[in-house]
């Protein structure tokens, strides 16, 4: 099934998105954040805790800020210390954290060999990322995922990583292709990454390097047993977006939820802090070949899915533009949307098909992520299963790539193993019985499907034109996405975003994407 889409409108939307993101990319180039600087140190090997449960990278960056050196970059300061002492990065950061080491002088920062040392440490870090990337490719080649249907994606969220592992392996055995470990509620607002394996969390499990390692090992073992590579998903969003991306790159995660505006809109994080962090995190994802998932599906939980459908498409164009600027190929852009139209609306399924097919055709090379109905789910379990079945049908008919299975008890309590098994069983049935349906149907020229798709595309184009005229920061202030207003100078974490000094150094900016 193909819709007749006005390709000139699509091209104009991309041009407008480029005009929208260009001024922000110019601002990004002049700024850094505490999290970007901590990411550099983490990639170089800084890890662990210091003192009262403070991560070593946080403590080191705080010390450099207090010394007035952070504007030159943590890389320049720590590389200068490495030259002076010959000690490894972990010891240097611990020394800064505990006060044993004094920060270097400004003259020491500018020694010619400092940049060479920083580059060497960064090249060693990227070699570790490349090793993880190569390992993933080898496993996928040995145990390829299904090519004849969308990847079935489910969540685990017990709060205890060891219980999550049990649930994840069970889900893989029931047919899941992707396992997302939901983060503990509000972790995106923590300005640090928790450390070690965690066994307590509310609404999810903390994203930590050790939790990543444990879950990846368990899914590797399951992949070997099942003969099908199982992808691991987590969240690179919030105040530690690039740090999570760096840890995921080393520990070989496959997907990260990573949206350019989600943290601003839904978590009230400072806009410039978010845009700087998302750019560096996406550069890391590009290097590691991690698929990002964007969050446009969330718009339809706070705004009407019919009236606001065009905001999803407009945001996808903006996310695509930011992603291209960070070096991500289309094959790594898991642009998101959702099946959220009121089921009582006449021809609602027709409109869902039009939206899904439009997005599939506008982004033909992207692994589109399709989200299940949530807003109109009730306590009626029979209606709930029918809604999920219609969602499954829309997904397979329009060739979506990443399909998040609707689980009836999600958001009521942590889903039981059998709840997840039934969701996977239902999705597999629909995708088997309707596997070729979309290829056998034609969209009627001038019909309702085509008209709805044309309407959404035209409205998205008009919205992008308005945003290009007023600027994205002003658009966010006016609440043009998700009906939520965010001020350019407001939000959490703004104090952690700063202007770079002329001597600023981050070697990864040159090395990533070579």
pLDDT per residue over 224-234, tens digit each? 999 999 999 99
Residue 37, φ and ψ in degrees, nearest 5: -65, -40
Contact 219, 234 (CB under 8 A): no
Question: In the predicted model, is pLDDT for residue 348 greater than 70?
Answer: yes
Contact 288, 511 (CB under 8 A): no
- Beta-carbon contacts of 98 under 8 Å, excluding residues fewer than 6 positions away, are 50, 51, 59
pLDDT tens, residue by residue, 120-167: 999 999 999 999 999 999 999 999 988 878 999 999 989 999 999 999
pLDDT tens, residue by residue, 203-215: 899 999 999 999 9
Note the pLDDT of residue 52: 76
Question: In the predicted model, is pLDDT for residue 411 greater than 90?
Answer: no
Using 50, 70 and 90 to split pLDDT, how confident is the model at 448?
very high
Burial class (CB in 10 A: 0-12, 13-18, 19+), 502: exposed
Using 50, 70 and 90 to split pLDDT, how confident is the model at 416?
confident
pLDDT tens, residue by residue, 256-288: 999 999 999 999 999 999 999 999 999 999 999
pLDDT tens, residue by residue, 351-386: 999 999 999 999 999 999 999 998 898 878 888 899
Q: Quickly list DSSP for 298-338.
A: GHHHHS-TTTTHHHHHHHHHHHHHHHHHTT--GGGEE-EEE
Contact 303, 311 (CB under 8 A): yes
- Encoding tokens for residue 51? 């003192």
Using 50, 70 and 90 to split pLDDT, how confident is the model at 1?
confident
Is residue 262 within a helix (H) or strand (E), and if so which, with residue range? Answer: helix 262-267
Q: State how far the Cα of 328 lies from the Cα of 425, in Å rounded to an integer.
A: 34
Q: What is the mean pLDDT of residues 8-15?
A: 98
Question: In the predicted model, is pLDDT for residue 178 greater than 80?
Answer: yes
| Crossing angle for the helix pair 309-325 and 348-362, to the nearest 10 degrees | 20
Note the pLDDT of residue 410: 65
Question: In the predicted model, is pLDDT for residue 413 greater than 70?
Answer: no
Domain boundaries 147-449, corresponding CATH code? 3.20.20.440
pLDDT tens, residue by residue, 51-82: 878 999 999 999 999 999 999 999 999 999 99
Strands 402-404 and 497-499: unpaired
Q: Which residues are catalytic?
A: 262, 297, 369
Note the pLDDT of residue 440: 93
Q: Which residue has the tokens 């004849």?
A: 148
Is residue 164 within a helix (H) or strand (E), and if so which, with residue range? Answer: helix 161-173
CA separation, residue 136 to residues 129, 178, 221, 288, 329 (Å) = 11, 14, 13, 10, 18
Coil, strand or helix at 50: strand
Note the pLDDT of residue 149: 87
Q: State how far the Cα of 380 lies from the Cα of 41, in Å rounded to an integer.
A: 51
- Percent of the chain whose pLDDT exceeds 70: 99
Q: What is the mean pLDDT of residues 331-351?
A: 96
Residue-averaged pLDDT of the chain:
95
Other beta carbons within 10 Å of 446: 10
Q: Where are the beta strands (DSSP E) in 342-398?
A: 369-371
pLDDT tens, residue by residue, 76-124: 999 999 999 999 999 999 999 999 999 999 999 999 899 999 999 999 9
Contact 492, 241 (CB under 8 A): no
Domain ranges of the chain: 31-123, 147-449
- Percent of the chain whose pLDDT exceeds 90: 90
Note the pLDDT of residue 51: 84
């Amino acid at each position: 099934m193909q819709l007749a889409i006005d390709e000139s409108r699509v091209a104009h939307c991309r041009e407008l998105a480029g005009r929208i993101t260009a001024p922000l990319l110019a601002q990004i180039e002049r700024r850094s954040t505490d999290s970007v600087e901590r990411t550099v140190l983490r990639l170089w090997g800084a890890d662990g805790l210091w003192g009262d449960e403070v991560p070593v990278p946080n403590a080191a960056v705080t010390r450099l800020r207090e010394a007035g050196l952070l504007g030159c970059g943590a890389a320049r300061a720590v590389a200068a210390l490495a030259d002076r002492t010959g000690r490894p990065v972990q010891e240097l950061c611990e020394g800064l954290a505990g006060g044993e080491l004094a920060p270097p002088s400004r003259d020491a920062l500018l020694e010619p060999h400092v940049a060479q040392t920083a580059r060497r440490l960064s090249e060693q870090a990227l070699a570790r990322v490349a090793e993880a990337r190569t390992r993933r490719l080898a496993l996928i080649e040995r145990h390829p995922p299904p090519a004849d249907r969308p990847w079935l994606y489910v969540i685990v969220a017990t709060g205890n990583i060891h219980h999550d592992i049990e649930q994840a392996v069970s889900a893989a055995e029931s047919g899941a292709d992707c396992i997302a470990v939901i983060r503990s509620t509000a972790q995106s607002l923590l300005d640090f990454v928790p450390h070690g394996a965690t066994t307590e969390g509310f609404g999810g499990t903390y994203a930590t390097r050790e939790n990543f390692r444990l879950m990846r090992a368990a899914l590797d073992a399951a992949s070997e047993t099942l003969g099908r590579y199982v992808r691991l998903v987590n969240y690179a969003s919030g105040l530690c977006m690039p740090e999570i991306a760096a840890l995921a790159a080393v520990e070989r995660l496959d997907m990260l939820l990573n949206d350019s505006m989600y943290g601003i809109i839904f978590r009230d994080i400072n806009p410039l802090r978010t845009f700087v962090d998302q750019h560096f995190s996406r550069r890391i994802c590009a290097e590691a070949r991690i698929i990002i998932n964007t969050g446009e599906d969330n718009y339809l939980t706070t705004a009407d899915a019919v009236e606001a459908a065009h905001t999803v498409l407009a945001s996808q164009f903006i996310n695509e533009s930011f992603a291209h600027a960070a070096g991500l190929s289309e094959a790594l852009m898991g642009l998101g949307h959702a099946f959220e139209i009121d089921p009582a609306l006449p021809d609602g399924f027709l409109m869902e098909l039009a939206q899904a097919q439009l997005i599939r055709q506008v982004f033909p090379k992207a692994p589109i992520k399709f989200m299940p109905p949530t807003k109109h789910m009730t306590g009626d379990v029979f209606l709930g299963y029918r809604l999920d079945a219609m969602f499954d049908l829309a997904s397979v008919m329009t060739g979506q790539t990443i399909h998040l299975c609707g689980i009836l008890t999600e958001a009521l309590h942590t889903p039981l193993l059998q709840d997840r098994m039934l969701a996977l069983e239902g999705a597999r049935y629909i995708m088997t019985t309707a596997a070729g349906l979309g290829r056998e149907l034609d969209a009627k020229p001038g019909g309702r499907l085509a008209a709805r798709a044309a309407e959404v595309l035209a409205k998205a184009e008009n919205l992008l034109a308005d945003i290009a005229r007023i600027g994205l920061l002003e658009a966010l202030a006016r609440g043009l996405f998700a009906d939520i207003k965010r001020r350019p100078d407001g939000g959490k974490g703004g104090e952690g975003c700063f202007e770079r000094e002329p001597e600023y150094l981050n070697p990864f900016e040159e090395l990533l994407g070579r």
